[in-house]
């Protein structure tokens, strides 16, 4: 059940990240074409592309957590007996969940502050909090993932090998 839910969330994250990158490409291509054909770019296209890139890039954090691709100190594996590796992985997942939860709570406060202050983008004059909301999302969903990996080790992704 938990694995299925995480897979669906992952699919939505991948869709949103790909959509954001497609919007980046579309905005920048349209801006260049307008500049070449009409002598002026499209107002806000570059800033829009920056926001979309930020959303896609930040979602990458949650995607990497789901895929088991984060770096970790593997030297610890050689220090402790092999029999300790699984319990240590669960402890590591709990610590990671705690760290992500801490930053997620702080990120919620940060976004709430931006909303209360009415912070807007200087170029587009739009509120920035809807764009910033991806930051608490990525930390909180990652905290949930790590907590589930600790509770149900069978759903933990296989770690990727790093060079």
Which residues lie closer than 8 Å to 16 by C-beta, 6 or more apart? Answer: 55, 56, 59
| Domain assignment of residue 7, yes or no | yes
| Domain assignment of residue 162, yes or no | no
| Domain assignment of residue 143, yes or no | yes
Q: What is the pLDDT of residues 42-56, one digit of tens each?
A: 999 999 999 999 999
Q: What is the pLDDT of residues 42-99, one digit of tens each?
A: 999 999 999 999 999 999 999 999 888 776 666 667 787 888 878 888 998 999 999 9
In whole angstroms, give the CA distance from residue 49 to residue 57. 12
Number of domains in the chain: 1
Average pLDDT of the chain to the nearest whole number: 91
| Domain assignment of residue 92, yes or no | yes
| Domain assignment of residue 161, yes or no | no
Domain holding 138, by residue range, is 2-71+80-155
Give how far Cα 113 sits from Cα of 28, 57, 74, 105, 128, Å.
31, 23, 39, 12, 11
In whole angstroms, give the CA distance from residue 155 to residue 72. 19
| Domain assignment of residue 60, yes or no | yes
| φ and ψ at residue 125, rounded to 5 degrees | 55, 40
Give how far Cα 33 sits from Cα of 21, 24, 25, 52, 110, Å.
18, 14, 12, 19, 37
In whole angstroms, give the CA distance from residue 17 to residue 54. 10
The answer, yes or no, to whether residue 163 has pLDDT greater than 60, is: no
């Amino acid at each position: 059940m938990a694995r299925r839910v995480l897979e669906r969330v992952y699919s939505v994250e991948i869709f949103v990240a790909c959509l954001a990158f497609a919007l980046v490409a579309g905005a920048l291509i349209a801006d260049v074409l307008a500049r070449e054909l009409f002598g002026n770019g499209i107002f806000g296209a570059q800033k829009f592309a920056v926001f979309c890139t930020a959303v896609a890039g930040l979602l990458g954090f949650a995607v990497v957590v789901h895929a088991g691709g984060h770096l970790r100190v593997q030297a610890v594996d050689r220090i402790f007996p092999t029999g300790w590796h699984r319990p240590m992985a669960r402890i590591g997942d709990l610590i990671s969940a705690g760290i992500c939860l801490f930053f997620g709570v702080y990120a919620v406060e940060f976004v709430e502050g931006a909303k209360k202050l009415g912070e807007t983008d200087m170029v587009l004059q739009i509120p920035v909090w809807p764009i910033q909301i991806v930051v608490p999302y990525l930390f909180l969903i990652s905290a949930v993932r790590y907590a589930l990996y600790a509770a149900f080790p069978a759903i933990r992704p296989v770690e990727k090998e790093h060079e």
